Chain A
Amino acid sequence: MSATRRALEEQFDRILAEHGAAISRLASSYEAVAGIREELVQEIALAIWQALPHFRGDCSERTFVFRIAHNRALSHASRRKPVHQPLDELGEGNEPADPGPGPGEHLAQMVQRSQLMSAIQALSLPHRQIVVLMLEGLSHAEMAEVLGISENNVAVRLNRARSALKQTLGRRP
């Protein structure tokens, strides 16, 4: 195995370790069915691997990863009709990373998370994208780079997306 290839593999493994959870969450916002979501995550990881040799550092690694992840997820979403995650599907494959203190609180947290995810999945595509980027903590400049729009547009879209998310969450029981 050549040194370049080994270096690439190391970089790839590091990217997956650093951004794997974010990729997984992003996939959840596009795909509610666990098995298919896993396939989507694999698809995104493969696309990152394919693009990695051409990464020249002209944007941050995080922007690079999110661009690829969103583009793959977009192609995936166009092939599939959206399936929203029903609230009663809280158990299998949906265990939170940190179960929290008591059982009552734990359940309340799970319901909240599920409601948030369900509301995000119900958003229109541009709103969903920007909300995911916002929740992942990207700056306006980074969001603009991922989406290919100006920072002003990011601010406007973000405002609208937050209102839409609040409205959707408000409608849920």
Chain B
Amino acid sequence: MIEDHELNSWREQWVGVAETGIDVHRIHRKIRHQQVRFVVENVLAGVVFLGGLILALVVKRQESQIGTGWAAGVCALMVLELGYRLWLQRGTWRANTQSTHAFVELWRKRIMAKLRMILVGRYVALGWLVFCALLTAANWRSIGPEYKLHPAEWVVPLVGSVLLVPVIFGWTAWFRRHKLRELEEVNKILGEIDD
């Protein structure tokens, strides 16, 4: 067998390279924090989901079509959100345990999914506003007199809804730019790996 002196010398140097050492106690502390955070996040998500359903039930009890419409809208949004979360994570569980190539491919897929989500999110936001406007128009007979009696109560949510559009578009534009930069980086890595 031929001795690879160059490799042996590199290995000798490599093994002697400084080690920062692993602080096991700190890692266990982090693990505990992470577990607490995981539980809190799930409890919060559950509370938001249940809250949404309760809100839907409460508004459904109003004696007008608008209540039913709101309830249906809120439920649809919740299902959409849940479905999106599951869809986003499809095939990407335990990404870290994959080979480097598979990991980078999954990384790219997740960015693409998020970019699509941004696009869909914009349409959903616009769709939601159109839906609310149509619902209001369809129920104007019952809303009209109430609006005339208490205009302030109606103007605030209306202005809020309209202002929400530029906020959503601004945030999605920033998020899209950020994701596009990440995509560029991942494509570069993938290109280097495939080379």
Contacts and interface: CB of A to CB of B under 8 A. Distances in A.
Interface string B13-28: 1111111111110110
Interface of A: 13, 16, 20-21, 23-25, 27-28, 34, 37-38, 41-42, 45-47, 49-51, 54-55, 64, 67-68, 70-72, 74-75, 78, 93-98, 109, 112-113, 116-117, 124-126, 129, 134-137, 145-149, 165-166
13 contacts: A13-B24, A16-B22, A54-B94, A67-B100, A74-B103, A78-B185, A96-B17, A97-B16, A112-B13, A116-B17, A135-B11, A148-B99, A149-B99
Majority SS at the chain B contact face: helix
B19 A24 contact: yes
Contacts of A93: 18, 20
Majority SS at the chain A contact face: helix
Contacts of B16: 96-98, 109, 113
Contacts of A41: 20, 22
Given A46-B31, A78-B189, A67 B97 contact: yes
A45 B21 contact: no
Interface residues of B, number: 40
B167 to A, nearest CB: 27
A16 B13 CA distance: 22
A95 B189 contact: no
A22 B97 CA distance: 17
B95 interface: yes
A113 B17 contact: yes
A16 B24 contact: yes
B138 interface: no
B18 A28 contact: yes
Contact of B17 (A78, A117, A124): A117
A71 B96 contact: yes
Contacts of B189: 74, 78, 125
Given A78-B182, A94-B18, 17 more contacts: A13-B24, A21-B19, A25-B19, A28-B18, A37-B20, A42-B22, A42-B26, A42-B30, A46-B27, A71-B98, A71-B103, A97-B18, A112-B13, A116-B10, A129-B100, A135-B11, A135-B14
A136 B102 CA distance: 22
B22 A45 contact: yes
A42 B23 contact: yes
Nearest to A55: B97
Nearest to B93: A54
B13 A113 contact: yes
Contacts of A28: 17-18, 20
Contacts of B186: 78
The 7 closest A-B pairs by CB, nearest first: A148-B99, A148-B101, A135-B14, A20-B22, A94-B18, A24-B19, A71-B103
B34 interface: yes
Contact of A126 (B13, B20, B27, B193): B193
